[in-house]
A and B are shown apart, each in its own frame.
Chain A
């Protein structure tokens, strides 16, 4: 699985700052930015199905901020959800407690997911931004033996 990020693939990304520039009379009062175009019970609607407004960063990519990226190895992952809990940018995509992959549109490459991954070897490792996923997976380290 190269990306496994089903949520992000069909929403159409835009760069931050690409929004339409309106005048002072059209900006929102108090710089209050609504997340959705209309009322939604967000807790019970899946992320990719919510009616996001242009002010919601879900549809804006910050991928260009990243210089190193986490790569995910499905073969080792035990779906413990540690990375999902710890990711500061909700960039771990999980569905029904099964890890699907990384949201590379919002991941900033901090490495926290790698740090908290408990498997041996880790199921997430940091690689250079230009590294192809297949090449990264081919370099995956072996299981470390316990020192006796």
Chain B
């Protein structure tokens, strides 16, 4: 039996350590991992838990991230609770296998510490890796601070392993800003956390020899489409389970999570939509601006996938102007968050003025002052009744002002 760890009511943990503690409390059977900055401390800490008797499961060191996720798939198909961690280039190498995991409906938990993707090589946080996972069929949950990284990693097991979901889940946090910043975290005691997730329930596991089953079959044009549609529906339907798990977690801890987080949105006239640590920056800015009389609010998709199309639409239907902030360079298009928020808003009668900011690439700081400037710019759009800037702009970029596309349409 694994040793229990005595935890204080309030611990000082960074996002990495918070995620690793959640993996330990979940009593994962197999962690198959290849460490990479900035998520290295997650598997490093986990390795120490195993070595010191705090975990009964196996820690498998492999030769690449492709192998790490492949090992996770094998262990999950065999019938175990499985998790790993990665970032950036490691995530990119893992991508081919991510699709296998979701296609086989294996509830693996992947803690992703978001980092920029080379070239140029960069170890700092942006959302290039997270965005690259958006069509991979995983549930993608985003934590904005260390407490959330802990809470949501526990929730991830319960969501993915639910018999109505059975899909892999990523829990994202921002590289360094979240992963390496020590903050106050309120953990659960080991038994409470484990009992919240529950004992792992296998489904069609390969190690049940009386029910031989093939994983990873080949399907061509006569079958592939039906299987993919069924998988897509499972991810869409996971919305209800996510809501239920969040509600149960609130009952246990008092901490509330929603698929779309809304801050100061009850009477907001201008809004920022963002992911990751920038959400907290924008919240701080909105609070300060309210003292100046600008009704600013923040909307944050807690679940990047499944995307809360209707929740985003409802959250923003009464604002006059909104800017969608993308921390990943879309390379020849508008940002993903802008595109998805725009599409949601387009299906409503009320369509606020919307613009797109690219920001924070490669760990470029996103300050409160900059968030306030963007809010004020939204206010100027709202007062003018139309966009006063290009639709897509760049925040915190040196050199001549860069922008793309214009519109004369008001709201």
Q: Which residues of A contact B234 (CB under 8 A)?
A: 29
A25 contacts the other chain (Cβ, under 8 Å)? yes
A35 with B106: in contact, given A21-B222, A24-B226 (CB under 8 Å)?
Answer: no
Secondary structure type dominating chain B contacts: loop
Q: How far is the CA of A34 from the CA of B219 in the complex (A)?
A: 15
- The 8 Å CB contact of A24, one of B203, B210, B230, is B230
A-B CB contact pairs (8 Å), 22 listed? A23-B226, A24-B226, A24-B229, A24-B233, A25-B230, A29-B234, A30-B104, A30-B106, A30-B215, A30-B231, A31-B217, A31-B219, A31-B227, A32-B105, A33-B213, A34-B204, A34-B211, A34-B212, A34-B213, A35-B213, A41-B210, A43-B209
Cβ-closest chain B residue relative to A26: B226
CB-based contact B211/A36 at 8 Å = yes
CB-based contact A33/B214 at 8 Å = yes
A42 contacts the other chain (Cβ, under 8 Å)? yes
Q: How far is the CA of A31 from the CA of B219 in the complex (A)?
A: 9
Cβ-closest chain A residue relative to B102: A30
CB-based contact B105/A30 at 8 Å = yes
Cβ-closest chain B residue relative to A40: B210
CB-based contact B213/A29 at 8 Å = no
A39 contacts the other chain (Cβ, under 8 Å)? yes
A86 contacts the other chain (Cβ, under 8 Å)? no
Chain A, residues 1-39, CB within 8 Å of chain B (1/0): the string is 000000000000000010001111101011111111001
Contacts A30-B204, A31-B227, A35-B214 aside, 10 further interface pairs with beta carbons under 8 A come to A27-B223, A29-B105, A30-B103, A30-B166, A32-B204, A33-B217, A34-B213, A34-B214, A39-B211, A42-B210
Q: How far is the CA of A22 from the CA of B225 in the complex (A)?
A: 11
A-B pairs, top 9 by smallest CB distance, nearest first, are A30-B105, A35-B212, A24-B226, A33-B214, A24-B229, A39-B210, A30-B104, A24-B230, A27-B226
CB-based contact A42/B212 at 8 Å = yes
Residues of chain A at the chain B interface (Cβ within 8 Å): 17, 21-25, 27, 29-36, 39-43, 55
A42 with B214: in contact, given A23-B226, A27-B227, A29-B166 (CB under 8 Å)?
Answer: no
Cβ-closest chain A residue relative to B219: A31
Q: Which residues of A contact B204 (CB under 8 A)?
A: 29-30, 32, 34
Secondary structure type dominating chain A contacts: loop
Chain A min CB distance to B200 (Å) = 17
Chain B min CB distance to A30 (Å) = 3
Q: Which residues of A contact B203 (CB under 8 A)?
A: 29
Q: Which residues of B contact A41 (CB under 8 A)?
A: 209-210
Chain A min CB distance to B170 (Å) = 18
Chain A min CB distance to B243 (Å) = 22
CB-based contact A31/B104 at 8 Å = yes
Q: How far is the CA of A35 from the CA of B105 in the complex (A)?
A: 18
Q: Which residues of B contact A32 (CB under 8 A)?
A: 104-105, 204, 213-215
Which B170-222 residues have a C-beta within 8 angstroms of A?
203-204, 209-217, 219, 222
Q: Which residues of B contact A21 (CB under 8 A)?
A: 222-223
Q: Which residues of A contact B215 (CB under 8 A)?
A: 30, 32
Which B223-261 residues have a C-beta within 8 angstroms of A?
223, 225-227, 229-231, 233-234
Chain A min CB distance to B207 (Å) = 14
Cβ-closest chain B residue relative to A29: B105
Cβ-closest chain A residue relative to B206: A32
Q: How far is the CA of A30 from the CA of B137 in the complex (A)?
A: 12
CB-based contact A31/B216 at 8 Å = yes
Q: How far is the CA of A40 from the CA of B209 in the complex (A)?
A: 8
Chain B min CB distance to A105 (Å) = 18
Q: How far is the CA of A27 from the CA of B219 in the complex (A)?
A: 12
Q: How far is the CA of A40 from the CA of B216 in the complex (A)?
A: 22
Q: Which residues of B contact A24 (CB under 8 A)?
A: 225-227, 229-230, 233
Chain B min CB distance to A3 (Å) = 27
Chain B min CB distance to A44 (Å) = 11
B211, B222, B234 pick with most chain A CB within 10 angstroms: B211
Chain B, residues 100-125, CB within 8 Å of chain A (1/0): the string is 00011110000000000000000000
A24, A30, A41 pick with most chain B CB within 10 angstroms: A30
Chain A min CB distance to B328 (Å) = 30
Q: Which residues of B contact A42 (CB under 8 A)?
A: 209-210, 212
Q: How far is the CA of A30 from the CA of B73 in the complex (A)?
A: 12
Q: How far is the CA of A36 from the CA of B106 in the complex (A)?
A: 21
Cβ-closest chain B residue relative to A17: B222
Q: How far is the CA of A36 from the CA of B225 in the complex (A)?
A: 24
Q: How far is the CA of A17 from the CA of B105 in the complex (A)?
A: 24
Q: How far is the CA of A99 from the CA of B216 in the complex (A)?
A: 33
Q: How far is the CA of A43 from the CA of B210 in the complex (A)?
A: 9
Q: Which residues of A contact B104 (CB under 8 A)?
A: 30-32
Q: How far is the CA of A23 from the CA of B105 in the complex (A)?
A: 18
Q: How far is the CA of A43 from the CA of B204 in the complex (A)?
A: 19
Cβ-closest chain A residue relative to B216: A31
B229, B230, B233 pick with most chain A CB within 10 angstroms: B230
